[in-house]
A and B are shown apart, each in its own frame.
Chain A
Amino acid sequence: MEEIIRVDNLSFSYPDGQQALANVNLVIYQGETVALIGPNGAGKSTLLLHLNGILHSNGVVKVFGRPVDDKNLRWVRSKVGLVFQNPDDQLFSSTVFDDVAFGPINMGYSEAEVRRLVTKALDWVGMAGYEQRSPHHLSLGEKKRVAIATVLSMNPEILVIDEPTSNLDPRNKWSLIELLRGLAITKVVASHDLELVKALCHRAIVLDRGMVIADGATSRILADMPLLRAHGLAQAKIS
Chain B
Amino acid sequence: MKHSFIDQYSDRDSIIHRLDPRTKLVTTLFFILAVVLTSPNRWQAFALYFFLVATLILLSRVPVLYVLKRSLVIMPFVGMIAIFIPFFKEGEVAGSYNIWLWQISVTYSGLQVFWNILAKAWLSILSLILLTSTTKFSSLLKGMERLRLPRVMVMLLSFMYRYLFVLVDEVVRMRQARDSRNFGGGHLWQIRTIGNMIGTLFIRSYERGERVYAAMMARGFDGQTRTLESLNFRQLDVFFGISLGLVLILSTVVNLLY
Contact = CB atoms under 8 A, between A and B. Distances in A.
Interface stretch (B41-49, B70-78, B216-224, B241-249): B216-224
B3 to A, nearest CB: 9
B72 to A, nearest CB: 27
A89 B138 contact: no
Given A102-B221, A103-B220, A111-B230, 19 more contacts: A52-B218, A77-B217, A77-B219, A77-B220, A81-B218, A82-B218, A84-B218, A86-B211, A89-B211, A89-B215, A92-B215, A94-B141, A94-B158, A105-B227, A106-B226, A107-B220, A132-B136, A151-B219, A154-B220
A105 B226 contact: yes
B228 interface: yes
Contact of A90 (B163, B215, B221, B222): B215
Q: Which 8 A-B pairs have the closest CB atoms?
A: A106-B220, A103-B219, A94-B138, A89-B211, A82-B218, A95-B138, A90-B215, A105-B226
B93 interface: no
Interface of A: 49, 52, 54, 73-74, 77-78, 81-82, 84, 86, 88-95, 98, 101-103, 105-108, 111, 114-115, 132, 134-136, 150-151, 154
Interface in B140-195: 141, 158-159, 161-163, 165-166
A93 B158 contact: yes
A232 to B, nearest CB: 24
Interface in B202-246: 208, 211-212, 214-222, 226-230
Interface of B: 136-138, 141, 158-159, 161-163, 165-166, 208, 211-212, 214-222, 226-230
A134 B162 CA distance: 8
A89 B212 contact: yes
A141 to B, nearest CB: 16
A84 B214 contact: yes
B214 A54 contact: yes
Contacts of A107: 220
B211 A136 contact: no
A208 B214 CA distance: 24
Contacts of B165: 136
Contacts, number: 81
A157 B214 CA distance: 20
A88 B159 contact: no
8 contacts: A54-B217, A74-B220, A84-B215, A92-B159, A92-B216, A102-B221, A103-B220, A151-B219
Given A95-B138, A98-B138, A150 B166 contact: no
Given A49-B214, A89-B208, A105-B226, A94 B162 contact: yes
Nearest to B226: A105
A77 B161 CA distance: 27
Nearest to A103: B219
Nearest to A96: B138
Among B208, B215, B219: residue with most chain A CB under 10 A: B219
Contacts of A90: 215
B161 A94 contact: yes
Contacts of B227: 105
Contacts of B208: 88-89
A86 B216 CA distance: 13
Nearest to A86: B211
Contacts of A49: 214
Contacts of A92: 158-159, 162-163, 212, 215-216
B183 to A, nearest CB: 31
Among A90, A94, A150: residue with most chain B CB under 10 A: A94
A154 B161 contact: no
